[in-house]
Structures are given as C-alpha cells and as structure tokens.
C-alpha cells in the first residue's frame, strides 16, 4: 500500500489526536453526568476507568494504526485474522453512524455561536421555546451542511495541511477559551458552592453500581477510546514515533479538559442560580440538550450587568463548543475517508463521497429529534462493542507479543510492563460483560417493551440495529477481504 | 464559605492524578524530544 503523508511532528500528532478526544462530550455531557451521579462521588470511578479502560485502549489503537497502516477494517483483519474483518467493519460503521448525527450537533453549536455573536441569543426570554423553534425548523439542516462542508474542506487539504493545521488552531484556541471562562467562573460570587458539589463525594453514591457504570460509559464516550479514530490518525504517525507517552498525554489531557469544563459549568450554575441549580443541571431536555442549549444561555444573560460582556462570554463559550465539535467531526470523517482509501479510492474522491453520504444520512437526525436520540443511543452504546472488538483482536494476536513487539517496539520512549496484558486479557472483557449484562438485565426488569426494535431508547432497538449491521458484515466478510487494498 | 477537609482532599487527589498525570507525561515527552534533537 502506498503511504506518503505523516504528521509533521510529535506535537502535530498529539494536538490532532487531542482534537479527537476533546469534543462536546467533555463540555456538556460530562457536567450533566457528574450532576446526575452525585458530583464528587462520580469522579473517583471516572479516574479509575481512565486508567483501566481508556488508557489501555488508546495505547492499543495507536499500536494497531502504526503497525498495520490500515484503518479499522484492515487493522483488525491483519491483527486478529481475515475472518474477523467484519469486526473492523462494525467499528468503522459505528463511528460513521455517529458522524452522521454528530455533524448535526456541530451545526447546533455553530448556530448558537452565530446567534450569540449577533445578539439574538441573549435577547430571548424563553430558551426552551427558542430551542424548540430552531430544532423543529429546517435551520438544523443548513447548519449540518455547513459543518460537513467545513470539515470536508479541511480533510481535502490532507493530513498535514488540513487535519494537523486545523487542529493546531482549533484545539489551541479551545484550551485558551476554556481557561478564560474558567477564570471568570471561579471568580463569580458563590462559585465555591459549585466547587464543593463538584468535588465532595457522598458515600451512598460511591456504593451505587450505576455510578460506576456511568463513569465507564463517560470514559468510553469522551476519550474516544475504542472508536477506531485514534487508530486512524496513528496510520499517519512516523515509524520512530512513541506510543505509550503519546497515548497517556491523550487520556490525561482529555480528562484534564473535562475537569476544567466541569469546574467552569458548576461554578457558573451555582453562582447564578442557587435555587434551582441542581434541577436545571440534571435535566436532560430534548436529546440531552437541556444544560447547554437551554439553561446556559439563560445564565450568560445574568453573568454581569453589562449586556456586551454577557454577549462576549456567550459567544466565546459557543465558539469553544463549535471548535470542540469540529475537531471531533474532522476525525470521524477522516475515519470513513481512510476506510474508502483502504478500499482503493483516492483521497479526494473518498472525501467527496463521505461528505455526500454524511450529509444525506444526517438529514433524518437534523429534521427529527427522536431519530437523532435513537441514533445517539444505539451507536453510543455500540462503542462498548467496538472497544471489545479491539481488545479481542489483540488477544487473538497475542497480548504479550503485541506489547513487546509493537507497543514497546521501534520508537518507544518508555516500556509498558506486563500489567498491560492483565488489563487487555481480563479487565477490558470483564468490564464489557458486566456493563452489557447490567444494561440488559435492567432493561428487561424496567421496561416491559424492552425488545421492541422501534422504540427510541431501549435495548431492542440497539440489538436490532447492531444485529442487522453485524449479520451484513459477516456475510460480506469474504468480499471485504478481497477488496481491501493489499 | 468553608470547605471540608474531605473536599480539599478530593480536589488535591483528583486534580493531582488527572492534571498531574498530564503534566508528568508532557514533561517526559518534552525531555525525550530534546534528547532526540540533541542526538541529531
């Protein structure tokens, strides 16, 4: 396989990979999940799962991409064996399905940024009505198109001139903006109450298994571990590039940003709304948008007595959110593009195809919030299977061989010890089994309609959609292997 | 507004691991890059 482009330096690779991990999940999902799971009590399992889920899988993805020089399908086929190529296809499909609706989310962020800049956003009196009017109109379709177009134009320019350069601007600006907002938030009166809630653990929550399971899904969601995205960027890392330190920087860096965003949002919410702060922050709202698109604009209206200053803070918040979303959408589109390249397409044709398909398949999510919620639910949970398939591929290859020859091979700055074997062989599979079993058992016991495949958010719709995709890829397995560029 | 010892411990513990971990690996990466540059 011809392969010409590489990230220009270690820092280019790290900042681009950080762009994958840092997304809207760090800003809006993290704060909501922390609030729903007892504040500080959630942070303990969240840190533990960073160490035993996210980091090992990020290391695995770096190693798979660097060693095979293929996207998810080729990487799994080369590592686990050709008869498991369908697993790689499932990983690629899950991220592609997420790309369809994530572009819609990116569009929402851009729309709110534009509204904030032009002063429309803070002029509103009823933000739920504002959101409902926006989401039920054709506007999300326009902003979905804009998001797709921006990212396609960036990827079109290639790895160094497109992906790397864009991420250098997006991620750096995002971090600067978040620190400006953090400083403003913690200097608000009563911000300490937010900090106290955010960090104080409560025993009843620590002993609740749901808190632990939510901590695992949050880690799976916001670090990008197991999605196949880091694997895709690792295809473009140089042969003499390190894996372990780079992977650790992504895992810890991503969660560092989540902490900054969490402190900022909790301080702001408690400072400006002491009465119903917790009610508001835990309410999901339509498609889990409550906190970000309905409640935060209301808070920005009260951040100071100067309307111009309020507009400035609202604008830079939604700019940061747009940057976070764009940097992640770039990686989602690149994964699908890489997959097409692996099947013999040239980059430019592949990008046009991905942008066209991405726009088309994103239309239902842009126009129907229930469809969006269903897709977010089905493929969000599907990421756990993706992580499991990556661990399976390494187990099939031989964990110790993988660790010694690939992770600790050429270019490694530090050597990973045998603890890695234990995590990949036992802890990751155990986490997958416990999480999926809990999810199924609780679905069966709570929801009498749990098997109905046409519900928006239940086990049945996941099992049905995953099942269809897996059966199709198993049937196409032979063809997939034939078409994969040698 | 006073914070309890438990809250202060948690702030130090959580930020220590997460931010501390990031800074630790960042310094390691910078040092390795410097070494590589010095070795040509």
Nearest to A252 among B7, B11, B18 (CB): B18
Instruction: Evaluate if residue A2 carries a pLDDT over 70.
Output: no
* A318 band by pLDDT with thresholds 50, 70 and 90: very high
Asked whether A231 and A59 are in contact (CB, 8 A), the reply is no
Percentage of the residues of chain A whose pLDDT score is greater than 70: 95
Q: Closest-CA residue in chain B for A43?
A: B14
In whole angstroms, give the CA distance from residue A23 to residue A27.
Answer: 7
- Contact call for A246 and B17, based on CB within 8 A: no
Q: Count contacts between A and B (CB, < 8 Å).
A: 66
Nearest to A199 among B1, B10, B25 (CB): B10
- The interaxial angle of helices A85-117 and A307-342, nearest 10 deg, is 160
End-to-end CA distance of chain B: 55
Both tokens assigned to B30? 């910078």
Percentage of the residues of chain A whose pLDDT score is greater than 90: 68
Asked whether A72 and A332 are in contact (CB, 8 A), the reply is no
- Residue A477, pLDDT score: 97
Instruction: Evaluate if residue A3 carries a pLDDT over 70.
Output: no
The region of weakest confidence among A7-16, A75-84, A268-277, A338-347 is A268-277
Q: In A, what residues contact B, Cβ < 8 A?
A: 10, 14, 40, 43-44, 47, 50, 190, 192-193, 195-196, 199-201, 242, 245-246, 248-249, 251-253, 255-256, 259, 413-414
Average pLDDT, stretch A34-47? 90
Partners of A413 on chain B (C-beta within 8 Å) are 28-29, 32
Which pLDDT tens digit goes with each residue over A362-387? 999 999 989 998 998 899 889 889 99
Asked whether A31 and A265 are in contact (CB, 8 A), the reply is yes
- Residue A284, pLDDT score: 56
- The b-or-e profile of A367-377 (16+ CB within 10 A means b, else e) is bebebbbbbbb
- Residue A259, pLDDT score: 96
In whole angstroms, give the CA distance from residue A25 to residue A10.
Answer: 25
Nearest to B28 among A43, A245, A255 (CB): A245
DSSP string across A306-338: -HHHHHHHHHHHHHHHHHHHHHHHHHHHHHHHH
Q: What are phi and psi of A180, to 5 degrees?
A: -65, -45
Asked whether A103 and A329 are in contact (CB, 8 A), the reply is yes
Residue A413 C-alpha, separation from nearest chain B C-alpha, in angstroms: 7
Asked whether A147 and A110 are in contact (CB, 8 A), the reply is yes
Q: In B, what residues contact A, Cβ < 8 A?
A: 1, 3-4, 6-7, 10-11, 14-15, 17-19, 21-22, 25-26, 28-29, 32-33
- Contact call for B15 and A10, based on CB within 8 A: no
Asked whether A382 and A436 are in contact (CB, 8 A), the reply is no
Instruction: Evaluate if residue A287 carries a pLDDT over 60.
Output: no
- Contact call for A252 and B7, based on CB within 8 A: no
- Contact call for A201 and B19, based on CB within 8 A: no
Nearest to A10 among B1, B6, B33 (CB): B33
Which pLDDT tens digit goes with each residue over A125-166? 888 889 889 989 999 999 999 999 999 999 999 999 999 999
Say what the ipTM of the complex is.
Answer: 0.96
* A35 band by pLDDT with thresholds 50, 70 and 90: confident
CA atoms within 13 A on the CB side of A268: 32
- Contact call for A259 and B4, based on CB within 8 A: no
**pTM (2 d.p.):** 0.94
Which pLDDT tens digit goes with each residue over A15-32? 999 999 998 888 878 988
What is the Cα gyration radius of chain B? 17
CA A289 from chain centre, in angstroms, equals 16
- Contact call for A196 and B7, based on CB within 8 A: yes
């Amino acid at each position: 396989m011809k392969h010409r482009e590489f990230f220009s330096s270690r820092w280019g690779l790290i900042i681009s990979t950080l762009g994958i991990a840092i997304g809207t999940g760090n800003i809006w999902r993290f704060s909501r999940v922390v609030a729903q799971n007892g504040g500080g009590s959630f942070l303990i399992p969240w840190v533990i799962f960073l160490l035993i889920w996210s980091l090992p899988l990020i290391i695995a993805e770096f190693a798979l991409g660097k060693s095979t020089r293929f996207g998810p399908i080729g990487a799994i086929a080369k590592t686990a064996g050709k008869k498991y190529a369908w697993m790689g296809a499932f990983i690629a499909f899950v991220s592609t399905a997420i790309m369809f609706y994530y572009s819609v989310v990116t569009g929402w962020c851009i729309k709110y940024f534009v509204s904030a800049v032009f002063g429309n956003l803070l002029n509103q009196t009823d933000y739920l009505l504002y959101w409902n009017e926006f989401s039920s109109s054709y506007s999300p379709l326009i902003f979905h198109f804009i998001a797709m177009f921006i990212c396609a134009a960036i990827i079109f320019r290639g790895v160094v001139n497109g992906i790397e350069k864009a991420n250098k601007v997006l991620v750096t600006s995002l971090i600067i903006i978040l620190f400006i907002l953090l400083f403003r938030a913690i200097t608000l009166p009563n911000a300490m109450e937010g900090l106290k809630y955010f960090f104080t653990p409560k025993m009843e929550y620590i002993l609740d298994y749901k808190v632990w399971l939510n901590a695992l899904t949050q880690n799976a969601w916001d670090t990008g571990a197991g999605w196949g995205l880091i694997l895709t960027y690792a295809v473009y890392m140089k042969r003499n590039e390190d894996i372990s330190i780079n992977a650790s920087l992504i895992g810890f860096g991503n969660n560092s940003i989540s902490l900054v965003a969490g402190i900022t949002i909790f301080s702001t919410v408690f400072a400006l709304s002491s009465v119903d702060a917790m009610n508001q922050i835990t309410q999901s709202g339509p498609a889990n948008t409550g906190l970000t698109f309905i409640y935060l604009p209301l808070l920005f209206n009260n951040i100071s007595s100067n309307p111009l200053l309020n507009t400035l803070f609202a604008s830079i918040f939604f700019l940061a959110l747009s940057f976070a979303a764009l940097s992640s959408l770039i990686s989602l589109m690149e994964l699908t593009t890489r997959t097409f390249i692996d099947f013999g397409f040239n980059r430019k044709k592949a990008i046009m195809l991905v942008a066209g398909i991405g726009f088309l398949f994103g239309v239902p999510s842009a126009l129907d919030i229930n469809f969006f919620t269903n897709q977010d639910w089905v493929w969000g949970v599907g990421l756990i299977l993706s992580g499991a398939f990556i661990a399976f591929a390494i187990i099939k290859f031989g964990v110790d061989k993988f660790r010694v020859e690939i992770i600790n091979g050429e270019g490694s700055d530090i050597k990973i010890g045998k603890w890695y074997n234990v995590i990949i062989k036992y802890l990751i599979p155990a986490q997958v089994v416990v999480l999926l079993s809990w999810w199924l058992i609780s679905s069966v016991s709570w929801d009498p309609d749990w098997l109905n495949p046409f519900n928006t958010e239940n086990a049945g719709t996941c099992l049905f959609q995953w099942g269809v995709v897996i059966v199709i890829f198993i049937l196409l397995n032979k063809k997939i292997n034939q078409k994969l560029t040698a | 507004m006073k914070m309890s010892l438990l809250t202060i411990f948690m702030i130090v513990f959580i930020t220590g691991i997460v931010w501390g971990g990031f800074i630790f690996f960042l310094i390691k990466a910078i040092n390795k890059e410097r070494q590589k540059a010095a070795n040509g």
